[in-house]
Chains A and B, each alone.
Chain A
């Protein structure tokens, strides 16, 4: 895995201005998805409505911004509070342990040996969050995760991850960002999801630097 520093020079800014159109801070909108579930079959803690969007830009360095906005309704909130309390939690998982609402974004490259993007900041309005960047097999982070230790409310929340973009156009530099909701327990840096896979969504990105 080799980080490309070719585009950190002033030439890159000029190039980006030309390629991205007008301003070095311009963003290009990439793949997106949204959902509106009619029921709670994906999990009582999974928001029934939300979106996942991607933006590609240059601001002294190339980056990808992936943002999820989702709404927890009053039923989600009541169920998440039940998990928070431990004991006999909803369903058959997570019993006898306090579990907390968890959101993660995972970058999965098409060439599994060469992830060319790397998370550097996560942002959320979830209450009392605990973050984790999990690395898998190299210096590029694959997963950006947040666990809400505070008490959630019926409202819209967001979780955004910014990734440094090191793609150089090789086949397989492309991949997808997967969004997942879970309930997790124990630990602080390494949470264990006791219910996973609820409301899985994904968006794709291509091979080329600065482009969707």
Chain B
């Protein structure tokens, strides 16, 4: 099996494992103080610092996911509309699945991100949301012909979501994390609000490192 396929399977596995682990941890900590994460930077000044502060381990991702779930609950309770939301998928999606996901959850999409691989090398693509099959098919051919790379699927997206749809997105089986902390609700003191960075690259790194440790 090619490394690229191993990584994809591994990332999907990691995502599922983290989803499972997270749920278990949440239930286990329901009455404890451990839900309050104090080691992550939420200075509300810089989304890059927030992303960079995530510990690059399964536990670190689990902690971040727990924190974001708390933040999502807060923004849902405030009934915020058009929330800047970053959605990291639990597995790569085909364009058709992606479009169905967007429609099902009434998301106003701003950008779709896809993964391609060339051996051990990761190639990332960002699409404007109006793209259809002809655009994606053209890019698949381009990847093959120009870079000898294989298109894998869509791994995360950015869009605007109303509070009433957020819970369904969080609970969707293809969602690894819906992160709303780029919204101006959380960035009151930053002029240009934006989107939190998706976790796809980080998930891939963590899983690869874990695999290498096992193999060594």
Please state if B134 and A188 are interface contacts (CB–CB under 8 Å): no
**Contacts A25-B141, A131-B111; is A121 near B128 (CB within 8 Å)?**
yes
List of B residues within 8 angstroms of A129 by Cβ: 124, 126
List of B residues within 8 angstroms of A189 by Cβ: 158, 182, 192, 194-195
- A residues 167-212 near B (Cβ < 8 Å) are 185-190
Please state if B201 and A133 are interface contacts (CB–CB under 8 Å): no
Please state if A188 and B128 are interface contacts (CB–CB under 8 Å): no
Comparing B5-13, B19-27, B42-50, B170-178, the segment that makes contact with chain A is B42-50
Please state if A120 and B134 are interface contacts (CB–CB under 8 Å): no
Please state if A123 and B143 are interface contacts (CB–CB under 8 Å): yes
Closest to B112 in A: A121
Interface of A is mostly: strand
Complex CA distance for A100 and B51, rounded to whole angstroms: 14
**Contacts A120-B128, A149-B197, A188-B194; is A131 near B51 (CB within 8 Å)?**
no
- B residues 181-206 near A (Cβ < 8 Å) are 182, 190, 192, 194-197, 201-202
Please state if A120 and B49 are interface contacts (CB–CB under 8 Å): no
List of A residues within 8 angstroms of B116 by Cβ: 123
Chain A CB within 8 A of B168 CB: no
Complex CA distance for A188 and B50, rounded to whole angstroms: 11
Contact of A188 among B118, B137, B197 (CB under 8 A): B197
Please state if A121 and B121 are interface contacts (CB–CB under 8 Å): no
List of A residues within 8 angstroms of B202 by Cβ: 128
Considering only CB atoms and an 8 Å cut-off, how many residues of chain A contact the other chain?
Answer: 36
Interchain Cβ contacts within 8 Å, total number: 101
Chain B CB within 8 A of A80 CB: no
- B residues 126-168 near A (Cβ < 8 Å) are 126-128, 130-131, 134-135, 137-139, 141-143, 146-147, 158
Closest to A128 in B: B201
Which of B124, B146, B201 has most chain A Cβ within 10 Å?
B124
Comparing A33-41, A59-67, A87-95, the segment that makes contact with chain B is A59-67
**Contacts A149-B51, A187-B47, A189-B194; is A61 near B127 (CB within 8 Å)?**
no
Please state if A130 and B131 are interface contacts (CB–CB under 8 Å): no
Chain B CB within 8 A of A150 CB: yes
* Chain A interface residues (CB < 8 Å from chain B): 25, 59-61, 63, 65, 67, 98, 100, 119-131, 133, 141, 146, 149-150, 158, 160, 162, 185-190
29 contacts between A and B (CB under 8 A): A59-B141, A60-B134, A60-B137, A61-B138, A65-B142, A98-B49, A98-B52, A100-B48, A120-B135, A121-B125, A125-B118, A125-B121, A125-B122, A133-B126, A149-B197, A150-B201, A162-B135, A185-B48, A186-B46, A187-B47, A187-B48, A188-B48, A188-B182, A188-B195, A189-B158, A189-B182, A189-B192, A189-B194, A189-B195
